[in-house]
Amino acid sequence: MCHTSHRHPIFCILPPHVLRSIAQRGNPEQRVMATNTLAVDATLRAFRASAQTFAAAPSVDALANPGEKRRTIYTANHTQQLPGQRVRGEGDPPSGDVSVNEAYDGLGDTWDFFWNTYGRNSIDDEGLPLDATVHFGQNYNNAFWNSQQMVFGDGDGQIFNRFTVSLDVIGHELTHGVTEDEAQLAYLFQPGALNESVSDIFGSLVKQQRRHQAAKDADWLIGEGLLAPGIQGIALRSMKEPGSAYDDPILGKDPQPAHMKNFVHTYDDNGGVHINSGIPNHAFYLAATRLAGYAWEKAGRIWYETLRDARLRQNSGFKRFATLTAANAARLFGTSSVEHAVVVSAWQDVGVPVSGGSPALTP
């Protein structure tokens, strides 16, 4: 993550340990590109995300009607100026630039997912316009949400492809905005890993819905298509098998655990937020596949209601989040329901206890 402040972070899809591995193990050109990306990310950490210090405010000239998408795509033309030059607005025909079209479509698919599935009116549930900038920087190996808009690098072409290529990445980053609006989970240690996990979950669900895939047919990958040819890996993360997404001489080995017995204790990456997210990710995968059907209908609904639950605190860890998912499963489907039992067992199978099924929690 590129972190600006506790309350106004900038969320990057690519964790710093991957970039540092490239900077240490890549060829001279790859090392330079990774080092440059790390330098940009370090600058991002030094500033708060606001209209004055980082990005322009969203382009709003009137309140949108409920259910009305408003997308604007800009290009930075390989500079670091945001938002850049406007190249496509809502309803405009496709551009000749594939990155522009992928960003436009990805914003739309994510908007459609939250509106059609949960009745959520954009990221803030109040019709927020969705803005994105493509072609940010020179060979910039990342994509991020800065509390104002999406920003995509083109990748270096050797290790990473353009960052607009993965719909789940776009869904992941925009979901950070949903979490900011609803739960404000602190981006540190277990709350931060939950923050990352929620984004992975709904990023995957956006892709699954777009492909009309049932849980059993989904790949459960985050960053599909992002790794360039020749890189030994299939994605950035796997929810189905955390720790299996890549094993490459340059990138290193995917460090994600799938169970609490392998929880990684570290101060790196804000306390391992991109690493330990594998544990709640796997819990969701287990719940969704055991419930079968479309994952967004039952498991996704339970997790979404938990994200919106007033009892979810900024500093909540895995156990409290698990308990709340069980409580919401019971509220939605009944205490004796299959859904409730499946959610409890999914968390138990990754080593996160849900004492008594779903114990009462004080507000």
User: How many Å apart are CA 172 and CA 75, to the nearest integer?
Assistant: 21
Q: Helices then strands (H, E): number in the chain?
A: 10, 10
pTM of the model: 0.92
* Cβ neighbours of 60 (radius 10 Å): 11
- The kind and range of the H/E element at 132 are strand 130-134
- The alpha carbons of the chain give a radius of gyration, in whole angstroms, of 19
The domain limits of the chain are 11-182, 189-349
> Do the bridges between strand 85-89 and strand 130-134 make them parallel or antiparallel, or are there none, so unpaired?
unpaired
- C-beta of residue 312 within 8 angstroms of C-beta of residue 306: yes
Interhelix angle 278-291/338-349, nearest 10 degrees: 150
Write out pLDDT tens, residues 281-319.
999 999 999 999 999 999 999 999 999 999 999 999 999
> Looking at residue 43, what is its pLDDT?
72
- C-beta of residue 85 within 8 angstroms of C-beta of residue 97: no
3-state secondary structure of 222: strand
Which residue is it, tokens 């849900």?
A: 354
Q: Does domain 189-349 have CATH number 1.10.10.10?
A: no
* Active site residues per annotation: 173, 274
Of 21-25, 60-64, 128-132, least confident by mean pLDDT is 60-64
Q: What DSSP assignment string belongs to 292-323?
A: -S-TTTTHHHHHHHHHT-TT--TT--HHHHHH
Of 43-47, 109-113, 243-247, least confident by mean pLDDT is 43-47
Fold annotation for 11-182: Elastase; domain 1 (3.10.170)
Note every long-range contact of 104-108, with CB atoms under 8 Å and residues 24 or more positions apart, other chains counting: 104/71, 104/73, 104/132, 105/167, 106/164, 106/167, 106/170, 106/171, 107/69, 107/71, 107/73, 107/132, 107/150, 107/170, 107/174, 108/69, 108/71
Tell me what the mean pLDDT of segment 19-34 comes to: 91
Q: What DSSP assignment string belongs to 319-338?
A: HHHHHHHHHHHHHHH-TTSH
> Looking at residue 12, what is its pLDDT?
87
- C-beta of residue 232 within 8 angstroms of C-beta of residue 21: no
Structure confidence at residue 6 as a pLDDT band (50, 70, 90): very low
> Looking at residue 108, what is its pLDDT?
98
